Structure 1
Amino acid sequence: MVNFSSFAPFTSTTVIADPASFPTASTPGAEIRWTVPCIVADVMARVKSLLETGHATEALRRLNAQRYACPAFDNARAVCMMRLGHPDAAVRVLQQLTQVTANGEFRSHVPVGYKVNLATALALTGEVDEAAAILAELRAADEHSLRASELQSALDRWQGGLSMWEQFQRNLGAHVQHAVILHFAPGELP
């Protein structure tokens, strides 16, 4: 029998909180292997429905109310954060989820969707080169995704829209303040 008493209910008075306060799959003591799949499926179906109808705040509230930790919830939180205009918070959650190492490698068995979401969040924070590197890694590993292709198109449009001065600055390694425009809602749930 599974003992769920070790899970403390997650409570939050704010919708956007410090990602470190979320019960994540990497939280010490979080027993993600004990997460009941039917609970995860039910919550994720509701969250996906809320996101599809533009209710990211309510979706994030539902996720924050869960007392179970699992990677799917962490990814969904990051998607909500991106859609609420907080891609920097999404980057922190997704980097923790994917456990990006100092040399930029993902832990093994990270779903493609999580990697694409990280690339999307990075692009939205202006870290275009990091986003492009993730997409290049996905192509090299022959991991395909429609959303990855859409993001690559957005990055290509971004690159093509830079002025000569911005291109010059970028070639020198300077950070260019030129927003990446997406033609899709940021983040996706696998």
Structure 2
Amino acid sequence: MMATRTTLDHVRDLLDRNRPEEALSFLDRHGPETPEVENARAVCLLRLGRLSDAIAILRDITFRGNMNIPDDTPLRFQLNFVTAMLMINFKDGAMAVMDRLKRQTDPQAVQLREAIDRWRKSLGLIGRLGCCVGLYPRQPVELGFPPGRV
């Protein structure tokens, strides 16, 4: 576990310095295949714009073969999954998970809620009404922060 912690700390440092490609390369060489390391790998992929690769990893570690997200799935994995869904403009998936997490006070959850709220406020009346019934306009949600957290 200590090796994983050191690995993740190094990846966080590289991501903080906007070096996702180097972080991904480091994980490929040194990262054990744990869910935490796979989450870090997905964050690197998100930041590199490799969204489908990131989503495949996040889906696996978030749902773990289930139809619904298991209750013991780490919050970070769920929030990174939401981020990926927003980035590919699949709001149905993102909003369904965010509804589960509406009481979360984690800073990443708050950032995502704020981004979604800004997006909703930018919509016209018809767009906002559509959101109320799960019909989300195509206009993308601008995050306003680097995607994903390790």
Structure 2 residue ranges without an equivalent (≥5): none
Which deviates more, 50-59 or 78-87? 78-87
1:125-167 Cα shifts (integer Å, max 9, x gaps): 111232122122023xx54311111101111111222245655
- Structure-2 change in CA distance of 1:69 and 1:164 (3 Å): same
1:107 aligns with 2:70: yes
Aligned-pair CA distance for 1:183: 1.7
Task: Return the letter of the residue paired with 2:82.
Answer: A
1:46-95 Cα shifts (integer Å, max 9, x gaps): 10100000000000111112362101111001111111112332221111
Structure 1 residue ranges without an equivalent (≥5): 1-36
1:13-45 Cα shifts (integer Å, max 9, x gaps): xxxxxxxxxxxxxxxxxxxxxxxx121112111
Task: Return the letter of the residue paired with 1:150.
Answer: Q
Aligned-pair CA distance for 1:172: 8.3
1:74 aligns with 2:1: no
Q: When the two structures are superposed, what TM-score results if normalisation uses the length of structure 1?
A: 0.69
Q: 2:31 and 2:16 mapped to 1: Cα distance?
A: 24
Which structure shows the higher helix fraction?
A: 2
The total of aligned residue pairs comes to: 149
The residue aligned with 2:10 is 46
Q: For 1:19-168, what aligned pairs fall within 5 Å after superposition?
A: 37-66=1-30, 68-99=32-63, 101-102=66-67, 105-139=68-102, 142-164=103-125, 166=127
Q: 2:111 and 2:24 mapped to 1: Cα distance?
A: 25
Q: When the two structures are superposed, what TM-score results if normalisation uses the length of structure 2?
A: 0.86
Task: Return the letter of the residue paired with 1:115.
Answer: Q
8 Å CA contact 1:128, 1:155 repeated in 2: no
8 Å CA contact 1:132, 1:155 repeated in 2: no
Runs of at least 4 residues off by over 3 Å: 163-176
Pair member with larger Rg? 1
Q: 1:180 and 1:86 mapped to 2: Cα distance?
A: 18
Ranked by relative contact order (alpha carbons within 8 Å, sequence separation 6 or more), the top structure is 2
